[in-house]
Structure 1
Amino acid sequence: MPLSEHEQQLLEQMEQALYAEDPKFASQMQGAGARAAARRRVIIGAVGVLVGLALVLVGTMTTMWVGAVGFAVIVAAVVFAVTPPRRGKAALGMVQPDGRVRRPAGGPKPKGKAGRAGSSESFMQRLEHRWDRRRDQY
């Protein structure tokens, strides 16, 4: 059974909180997709270094500017290979004792019904209600 949009957002928030709390453990738990993406970045970086090296060698035989462009390509390829990909992370909030989430100033606002300002239920109460509704369905 697929997750609803709100459940996917909650799961994403929990993943981000885990990553913020224990990045070493979170990096060990990343799936094969993340490793494949990292491997792809390294391969692209290596190809970029080879292209830059070829430009540097051509630059030694022709003009200095070609060599300078080659060096810039090498630096950019190495930086690309060693930096992790950017992910659109939402600003993490702090969970209050009553279950509400306090977000930092300027952070993205929550989406959907659960994030509306007029909601009188706390986060935990909404989760409990949703759990009860699911249990009653089956």
Structure 2
Amino acid sequence: MPLSEHEQRMLDQIEQALYAEDPKFANTVRQTNPAVHYKRWIIKASIGFVLGVSLLMAGVIFKQPAISAVGFIIMLSCTLWGLSGWRRVVGGAEGTAAPVEGKQPRAERRGMMNRFEERWRRRQEGDH
């Protein structure tokens, strides 16, 4: 169900106000793909993991358990951070599971606005 004229006008006014207030931010938000952000997380986590391994090895070589412990903590933290980014890039548990009946495959999913419109339409029709 499309937006009413009043809703569309309000949305346009909000968008114009955003562009007028901070055009750089508005363009960035409009053009940014979240997957790119999470891929950067994975790259940074990988670099941190290598740094953690280096510290762990340096601690073992120089017999400094504190340095080894810090290296291990960095490795663990970066692993969790990288896995978090990876899950978000591939779509969480849905990325590896078989398709669930009633769910659309990732490539066929509609955008956020389409989902909102579909929910609105179902509410209006009384199909909660």
TM-score grouping bracket, smaller chain normalisation? 0.3 to 0.5
Q: What TM-score, normalized by structure 1, do the two folds share? A: 0.40
Considering fraction of residues, name the structure with more helix. Answer: 2
Which of structures 1 and 2 has the larger relative contact order (alpha carbons within 8 angstroms, sep 6+)? 2
Q: What TM-score, normalized by structure 2, do the two folds share? A: 0.43
